[in-house]
Structure 1
Amino acid sequence: MKRLFLSIFTIAAGVSIYASEPWTVERCMQYASEHSHTVRQQQFALDDSRAIKTQAIGAFLPSVYGSTSVQINFGRAINPETNTYTDISTLYNGYGLQASLTVFDGLQRYNQLRMAKANVAMGRSGIMAEKDDVALKVYKAYMDLAYCLGAIDHTSKKRDESLALLHQTEVMAEVGQKSNADVAQMRATLAADEYELTHMQSQTIKARLALQQIMNFPADSTLYIVQPSFHTEPAVTENPAQISEYAAMTNPRIVKAQQAIEAARFNLRAARGALLPSLALSGGVSTSYYKNLNNGVHASFFSQFKNNTGEYVALSLSIPLFSQLSTSSTIRRRKIALSQARENLEYEQSE
């Protein structure tokens, strides 16, 4: 109990200290990229793509499965020993072990694996793109808050100046150098400055909450920021054409769109592979046990298990002739998906 209390106290103290420190915009962007819900959703999507990739790799491995069955016959049935009809009650127990391997399937598995790899790469780019989006949103919200804080400082100084001028005008009015109209004017100016200060304080609260929301910052803590300095402008050595060319090669959204085209292309090839014949190799071993329930005359279990053992090897060829337009519809849909991916790449490049 004491350890639990100390842990809770340490966490609470850590949150308080953590929240009271002034945060730079870089620290805010880093925190948001690590705690954003949308970034986490992209990470889950990447994990799902990795699981699909593992499944695509497993499709190249053979399928192995075992089976067993128990059958009791009453009345007319076939005697497994003599292969003739009998009317005695019998117990039949069978065991089997089978394995199958697809030798050729029109390169469907190969293209599905390449598509899965492209989806994994696309998931990584998606995380980077989402982190960039979150960072940009944080930067904007940070600058909005910085503007509001600066506006509060400026408005406070203006309100203090108006208050001093009002006091000066009232003194001058008492000695006859200013009129009551001048005093009323200064009071109106002071009231306008106080309203503007109150308004900016409200806007600051909204801006701070907006920044904390984007960052997924604890709601019970107050975020303090460092007022940025804009005295120096960063030097830009590249011309606009070079910047655009660099962005076209490295921007995560453009890279993700390119990878989406690659994945859609492999998906289309996999669909077309369903039009080709498929070849499968299979084999297995089976055995059985038979017992006469009426007189109990039968060989032992181990002797039947050994003597009834049989093996088989099969090679099957499947040629698709008609699939109720399912394959052609799938190919058409994946062609459309490929066109959509290309259109999305052009959109991202224009953006």
Structure 2
Amino acid sequence: MRRIGFTFFLLLTGLSLRAQQAWTLQQCIDHALSHNLQVRQSELSVDQNKSQVQQSTATLFPSVNGSASQSYFFGRSIDPFTNVFANQQITNNNFNLNASMSIFEGFQLMNTLRQSKLNYMASRADLDKIRNDIALNVATAYLQVLYNEDLVGVAEGQLESSRQQRDRAKRQYELGAIAQSGYLDLESQFATDDLNLVNARAQLAQSRLSLTQLLELDSVSNFQITRPDVLLPAWDATSASVEVVFNAAMTNQPEIRASEYRYLSAERGLSIARGTRYPRLSVSGNLNTNISSSAQEVTGFLALPPSIVESGFTSGGDTVYSVVPNNVIQTRETPFSKQFEDNLGKSVGFTLSVPIFNGWAARNNVTRARIGLEQARISREQTRKTLYKSVQQAVTDAQAASSRYESGNRSLSALERSFEENRKRFEVGAISTYDFLLVQNNLARARATALQNKYDFLFRLKVLDFYQGKPLSF
């Protein structure tokens, strides 16, 4: 019973896995975007530029740093508290707090912040460009799979038709109704159509492999895509305007935004370079104190019996004695908190730096920034021209694809009617096998061509939608 239950579980799991292999176009695009290494690399560049924005913002605030040190003095050394020689072990502590802030630096800090924001926006536009390219590549591969699946269906239908004609001819040949050459011609056509089906299936397998590689899948086993209702819209080829598509592309294509951001960033770079010519004014402050183990404070006096000492002589030569008080000063080590407060020092200073001559560094920086700005301007213009040419080509291709699609459908309709008439005539022996096969092969080629024209036209329409910022969906 357990084995039956386990087998049933595996069967359901297998069915579920196979069901999960039917990928929609949106699922394919989402999976490709989330697993593509180029996208991940670009995302890291965006994060790096975002960190640079944060760093540039932080430079506008004061810089504050603190330090502390402890020193030990042995033997004969200078007492840092009394500044006299001492022959004892002394411990000394120093505490410092420094703060500085730029008041004026030729607007370099503000321009650097603005430049970093523009670079961040440009990197985001680059990421969008990579995502758009991947989405378009996935849609192209997806359409190729759909086309090859339909092409296999056409080849299978053609093979089945050839099989029926061959079997019919074989019976007629066995009955002596037709010559052996007529039967062999149909047998040869059946073999040719079987080879065409093999080639069509190989093309389908290759297109599936290409799509799974774009999706970064490890295997193509059981990979299937959903077949949407691909309906070609009613589209007037003469109504497509290059200017309309181009204007829409100018507002939504990320490469245009990226080139514009980089141009504005180069402008800020020139302002930063010019800022090195201006004087710089900064303010700084300092708090410091020190603690020494040799620091002493008076706590009282100890009165001892006075001492009698000789202080001089009288005019007669007698010794004069004086009474000298004998008081001992009592001290103790000054407490840490009191030394910290008593020794606290404060300072504020302003620094003005005026550039006079620095080896033409400022001038050369401005020259390089101007060149960079001109390069950014040319790159922006080149990006716009490239986009315009791409839109021109896309509109032209769509118009041509529309014409081929309509002409191919008319040709296919005519060949289908012709085939039906010739099939009836062939069945009654009114035309030769050669003439019938010629009509049949023309119809097969027309069906394949019409199918190709259909998907090519659909792809060209999706390219126009892509330039206009419309979603890639069916």
- Assess same fold via TM > 0.5: yes
Tell me how far apart the structure 1 counterparts of residues 281 and 17 of structure 2 sit (CA, whole Å): 67
Paired position in structure 1 for 2:230: 229
Paired position in structure 2 for 1:243: 245
Tell me how far apart the structure 2 counterparts of residues 149 and 249 of structure 1 sit (CA, whole Å): 37
1:29-62 Cα shifts (integer Å, max 9, x gaps) = 4554455443343333222222211111111111
Q: Is structure 2 residue 343 aligned with structure 1 residue 308?
A: yes
Paired position in structure 2 for 1:50: 50
* Deviation for aligned residue 1:285: 0.9
Tell me how far apart the structure 1 counterparts of residues 236 and 107 of structure 2 sit (CA, whole Å): 53
Over the aligned positions, Cα root-mean-square deviation in angstroms equals: 3.1
Paired position in structure 1 for 2:277: 275
Instruction: Specify the code of the residue in structure 2 equivalent to 1:233.
Output: A
Instruction: Specify the code of the residue in structure 2 equivalent to 1:341.
Output: A
Residue pair 1:22, 1:226 contacting (<8 A) in 2 also: no
Correspondence 1:103-182 to 2 at 5 A: 103-182=103-182
Tell me how far apart the structure 2 counterparts of residues 191 and 238 of structure 1 sit (CA, whole Å): 45
Q: Which runs of 5+ in 2 are unaligned?
A: 1-9, 296-330, 387-474
Instruction: Specify the code of the residue in structure 1 equivalent to 2:339.
Output: Q
Instruction: Specify the code of the residue in structure 1 equivalent to 2:93.
Output: N
Which is greater in Rg? 2
Paired position in structure 2 for 1:101: 101
Change (3 A) 1:94 1:275: same
Tell me how far apart the structure 1 counterparts of residues 364 and 79 of structure 2 sit (CA, whole Å): 50
Residue pair 1:146, 1:227 contacting (<8 A) in 2 also: no
1:296-334 Cα shifts (integer Å, max 9, x gaps) = 974332222121111111111223345566555544444
Specify which structure has the bigger relative contact order, considering alpha-carbon pairs within 8 angstroms and separated by 6 or more residues: 1
1:230-277 Cα shifts (integer Å, max 9, x gaps) = 443346866322222232233221111111111122123223322322
Residue pair 1:285, 1:311 contacting (<8 A) in 2 also: yes
Tell me how far apart the structure 2 counterparts of residues 189 and 151 of structure 1 sit (CA, whole Å): 18
Residue pair 2:288, 2:346 contacting (<8 A) in 1 also: yes
TM-score (norm 1): 0.83
Change (3 A) 1:325 1:233: farther
Tell me how far apart the structure 1 counterparts of residues 355 and 194 of structure 2 sit (CA, whole Å): 81
Paired position in structure 1 for 2:259: 257
1:119-163 Cα shifts (integer Å, max 9, x gaps) = 232233223322321221122111111111111001111111222
Change (3 A) 1:116 1:167: same
Instruction: Indicate which of 281, 287, 296 corresponds to 1:285.
Output: 287
Instruction: Specify the code of the residue in structure 2 equivalent to 1:145.
Output: V
Tell me how far apart the structure 2 counterparts of residues 209 and 110 of structure 1 sit (CA, whole Å): 52
Q: Is structure 2 residue 207 aligned with structure 1 residue 207?
A: yes
Instruction: Indicate which of 383, 386, 394 corresponds to 1:348.
Output: 383
Tell me how far apart the structure 1 counterparts of residues 182 and 248 of structure 2 sit (CA, whole Å): 62
Residue pair 2:81, 2:294 contacting (<8 A) in 1 also: no
Paired position in structure 1 for 2:459: none
Residue pair 1:56, 1:116 contacting (<8 A) in 2 also: yes
Tell me how far apart the structure 2 counterparts of residues 171 and 230 of structure 1 sit (CA, whole Å): 43
* Deviation for aligned residue 1:17: 6.8
The percentage of counterpart residues that share the same residue type is 24
Residue pair 1:146, 1:228 contacting (<8 A) in 2 also: no
Residue pair 2:22, 2:223 contacting (<8 A) in 1 also: no
Tell me how far apart the structure 2 counterparts of residues 196 and 328 of structure 1 sit (CA, whole Å): 71
Paired position in structure 2 for 1:5: none
Q: What SS class does the counterpart of residue 277 from structure 2 fall into?
A: coil
Residue pair 1:291, 1:297 contacting (<8 A) in 2 also: no
**What is the number of residues matched between the two proteins?**
338
Tell me how far apart the structure 2 counterparts of residues 99 and 234 of structure 1 sit (CA, whole Å): 70
* Deviation for aligned residue 1:105: 1.4
Tell me how far apart the structure 1 counterparts of residues 16 and 264 of structure 2 sit (CA, whole Å): 46
Q: What SS class does the counterpart of residue 276 from structure 1 fall into?
A: coil
Instruction: Specify the code of the residue in structure 2 equivalent to 1:127.
Output: L
